[in-house]
Amino acid sequence: MTRQIRVAVLGGGSWGTTVAALAATNTPTVLWARDSDVAREIHEQHTNTRYLEDRVLPSTLQATSDMAEAVSTADVVVMGVPSYGIRAALEDVGPHIRPWVPVLSLAKGLEQGTRLRPTEVISELLPGHPVGLMAGPNLAREVLDGMAAAAVVAMADDRIASSLQVLFASRRFRVYRNDDLLGSELGGVLKNVIAIAAGMAEGLGVGDNTRAMVLTRGLAEMTRLGEAMGGQARTFAGLTGLGDLMATCMSPQSRNRRVGEELARDKTLEQVIEEMKQVAEGVRTARTVMELAREHDVVLPICAEVDAVVNEGRHPRDAYRGLQRAVAKSEHHGVA
């Protein structure tokens, strides 16, 4: 008999737990959570009330706060920790992971200082392991509630990507493949910054026309920078680009959109972050995105205004006035 593939998901937040729940319906899965109380609740009560309220997780999902226990027998490792914590988590993974085990990232941010994408950090700390990404327009609570959704497994090796697809797929959660890892990962990074702008629009009550304009021109900015960095334009029209952007900009569940909304309602960034008690990657990423834009000589008006709001104290109202002063060129300016 062929042994089932064993999956380890690292990270006990809302999306890490959801991905672990998806895998647990298909194959033996263990979730690692740094907080032993979270791990114990998932393992014994099959809930994660801190992040997912009273939603019930599969009884087959195991959980632990012991990294060695989670990783040492895993055939696939999924990194579900935020981008700012991925390096430290990987340093703990290194002594326990077996050779050649594929590693998938769920993170949607950039490492501050190095400006590395999460998959680049994985490749640096775990050389020799196939590295990929799973991403898409996925709101954790809706997926757990059984609403139809889809994601992409992106990695260079299509054969490995094919074998990973089936581990997370279900009747209502479709998993596609994409060999454009760079473009797929950048989509998840950049959409968080645009989502803050969309939240600012919501908080200011600027109207549906303006919100549609921000989303559409935001996608153009994502595509411009993504292509300049080596991604494929068509990737940004797919699930990890437009799809993820729409979900993050439109849903009240979006943490990044909420940041923009609350800032527009005159709260300070410190107040917003304290009340959320969860990570909004766009806040940490905005400045780094602008550094990359300057490096690649790409103009990103919306991202620039978001950066000014979260890092320089500009009020969202003034940010939207700044966007109104931007000169309109060809709609396809800067897009190959």
The model carries a pTM of 0.90
pLDDT score for 112: 86
pLDDT score for 180: 97
Residues 24 and 167 in one domain: yes
Query: Domain boundary at 179, 207, 236, which?
Result: 179
Query: Domain boundary at 145, 179, 213, which?
Result: 179
pLDDT score for 327: 56
Is position 277 annotated as part of the catalytic site? no
pLDDT score for 320: 83
pLDDT score for 280: 82
Query: Domain boundary at 124, 147, 179, which?
Result: 179
pLDDT score for 331: 57
Query: From residue 72, how far is each of 19, 33, 99 by CA, in Å?
Result: 19, 15, 10
Q: Exposure of 68 by Cβ count < 10 A (0-12 exposed, 13-18 middle, 19+ buried)?
A: middle
Written as one letter, the residue type at 279 is V
DSSP annotation of 16: H
Q: Which domain holds residue 78?
A: 7-179
DSSP annotation of 236: G
Written as one letter, the residue type at 219 is L
Examine residue 316 and state whether it is found in any structural domain, yes or no: yes
pLDDT score for 207: 86
For residue 103, report the phi and psi dihedrals to the nearest 5 degrees.
-125, 125
Examine residue 2 and state whether it is found in any structural domain, yes or no: no
Residues 138 and 18 in one domain: yes
Nearest to 193 by CA among 101, 117, 256: 256
Examine residue 26 and state whether it is found in any structural domain, yes or no: yes
pLDDT score for 330: 59
Helix (H, G, I), strand (E, B) or coil at 180: coil
Residues 27 and 130 in one domain: yes
Annotated catalytic residue: which of 191, 267, 277, 329?
191
The enclosing domain of 51 has a CATH number of: 3.40.50.720
Total domains, the chain: 2
pLDDT averaged per 10 residues in sequence order, the chain, 336 residues: 86 96 97 97 97 95 97 98 94 97 95 93 97 96 95 96 96 96 96 96 90 94 97 97 95 92 94 82 92 96 95 92 64 58
Residues 135 and 36 in one domain: yes
